Amino acid sequence: MSTAAGEQKASRYYPAEEEAIMKKARKTAHPTKYRESLQPGTVLILLSGRFSGKRVVLLRQLSQGVLLVTGPFKANGVPLRRVNHRYVIATGASVDVSNLDTEVLDRVSKDEYWAREKKEGKGEDAFFEQGETTPQKKDVDPQRIADQKTVDKALIATIKQQPDLEAYLGASFSLRTGQRPHEMAF
């Protein structure tokens, strides 16, 4: 029996166990393209998360679509945070961030700074004794408090030079009946 030119003859040997073959990745990682309006110093409106509706100052663009922002904490209670660039609206207001300490910003920009602490696994005894202990409030790292104060001190000094900017940052954003965000100019 002859085979056609394009056909392959079936193998008589089949392995007992199939060897794992890696699937080809069809997606490639592309660098994030930020909107032109997202420049350091721009005042942003947060659209989601714990601080949604708050106005914050953009400090730096980080990797993978993340922005480093702050309230400043003294003005509206928003600490140094990382926010996805898709969940912000850029406004026309801006603040000069050239006088910020770059050493502090470099430290805060690293992923290790934002890594969570590993939790210890609870044993069987701890599970049955759960009613006896009250949950303790987690203390904030003193390094984070110092970094926040350093950034806030420089930002508040430049914010106070512009009239009404501190009040603008302190006011939260919300929509009322009949307001259409796609028709607004921020």
**CATH for 149:** 2.30.30.30
pLDDT of residue 14: 72
pLDDT for 110 beyond 70:
yes
In a domain, residue 156? The reply is yes
pLDDT of residue 19: 77
Taking residues 16-42, report their average pLDDT.
85
User: Which residues constitute the domain of residue 53?
Assistant: 37-112+143-171
In a domain, residue 73? The reply is yes
Decide: helix, strand or coil at residue 20: coil
In a domain, residue 132? The reply is no
pLDDT for 32 beyond 80:
yes
pLDDT of residue 85: 95
Alpha helices in 77-163 (DSSP H): 102-109, 111-114, 124-128, 142-159
pLDDT digits (tens, 9 = 90+) for 36-63: 999 999 999 999 999 999 999 999 999 8
Q: How far is CA 10 from the centre of its chain?
A: 54
In a domain, residue 178? The reply is no
Residues with Cβ within 8 Å of residue 107, at least 6 apart in sequence: 113, 147
pLDDT for 28 beyond 70:
yes
In a domain, residue 149? The reply is yes
pLDDT for 2 beyond 60:
no
> By the 8 A CB rule, do 44 and 164 touch?
no
In a domain, residue 23? The reply is no
In a domain, residue 75? The reply is yes
Better-scored residue on pLDDT, 181 or 43:
43
Confidence of residue 6 (pLDDT cuts 50, 70, 90): low
pTM above 0.85, yes or no: no
pLDDT of residue 104: 93
Q: Which residue has the tokens 């008589």?
A: 12
Domain count within the chain:
1
d(CA 145, CA 96): 22
Q: How far is CA 25 from the centre of its chain?
A: 26
pLDDT for 134 beyond 80:
no
pLDDT for 84 beyond 90:
yes
Better-scored residue on pLDDT, 66 or 130:
66
Q: What is the mean pLDDT of the chain?
A: 86
pLDDT of residue 133: 58
pLDDT for 66 beyond 70:
yes
Q: Which of 39, 172, 45 is nearest to 97 (CA)?
A: 39
In a domain, residue 26? The reply is no
